[in-house]
Amino acid sequence: MVKKAIFGGTFDPIHIGHIHIAYEALYSLHLDKILFMPAGNPPNKMNKEITDAQIRYGLVEKAIECESHFEISKYEINKKENSYTYETLEHFNKLHEDIEWYFLIGGDSLMDLVNWKNVDRLLNSCKLVVYNRAGFTVEEVLKEKKRVEKEFNSKITFLNMPIIDISSTNIRKSIKAGRNIEYLLPKGVENIIDKLHLYK
């Protein structure tokens, strides 16, 4: 059976940390593809200013254009209503019944998972994979992983990988401050940012 992982996020902008996570998941879990899923109207970011979805899609598309194991989907950005993860996973399970779906989230998202909508349906629709991010110890993430597994009678995979402490927030701040951020971005992404005068 084909194994694919959905890697969701606002990607505002996408950076090399995202690419690093995708490759670690690809190799460690022996996946066939990583499907990048730029968020459309994420309910957890309703009060934050987010770059237009089509622009963020273009940034991700450019970042992965030469990566044969990476794909991108417009499913969530084409939705006019809020994007809930369980709905996305159920949609792709129905659309591709011959694919085993994984879903990648950071340790920060795991800590907040109980507040997500229909967590039980989400966990029944995929193999959840969590990777650690700066701000949490491995012990804290594993403790929460165990608690969620027990509460929802599920199994979560922990992706043990080095943390690359890069954030889209800090990249936006650096661009606004006029700093060089080329080394933090996949090839070609900075050109689009410059052309569209993003994050100034």
pLDDT in tens, 100-158: 999 999 999 999 999 999 999 999 999 999 999 888 999 999 999 999 999 999 999 99
Count other C-beta atoms under 10 Å from residue 52's C-beta.
Answer: 12
Query: Domain ranges in the chain?
Result: 2-167
Structure confidence at residue 80 (pLDDT): 84
46 — pLDDT class (breaks 50, 70, 90): low
Report the alpha-carbon distance of residue 92 to residue 75 in Å, rounded: 10
What Cα–Cα distance (Å) separates residue 101 from each residue in 5, 48, 163, 168, 199? 6, 29, 24, 26, 34
Q: Which helix (H) or strand (E) holds 82?
A: none
Predicted confidence (pLDDT) per residue in 6-25, tens digit: 999 999 999 999 999 999 99
Residue 178's Cβ-side half-sphere holds a number of Cα atoms within 13 Å equal to 0
Angstrom distance (rounded) from CA 165 to CA 17: 7
Tell me: pLDDT of 188 over 60: yes
pLDDT band at 44 (very low <50, low <70, confident <90, very high): low
For residues 65-92, give the mean pLDDT.
95
Burial 141-155 (b: 16+ CB within 10 A, else e): bbebbeebeeebeee
pLDDT attached to residue 159:
96
Thinking of the domain 2-167, which architecture would CATH place it in? 3-Layer(aba) Sandwich (3.40)
Residue 42: band (very low, low, confident or very high) from pLDDT cuts 50, 70, 90:
low
Give which of 108, 40, 109 is closest to 76, Cα–Cα.
40
pLDDT of 47 above 90: no
Give the pLDDT of residue 134: 87
Beta bridge partners of 128: 103, 156
User: What is the reported pLDDT for 129?
Assistant: 98
Residue 45 has a pLDDT of 57
Distance from C-alpha of 73 to C-alpha of 1, rounded to nearest angstrom = 21
- Chain segment 51-73, per-residue pLDDT in tens: 999 999 999 999 999 999 999 99
Pair of tokens at residue 147: 């608690």
For residue 132, the number of C-alpha atoms closer than 13 Å in the C-beta half-sphere is 16
* CA-atom Rg of the chain in angstroms: 16
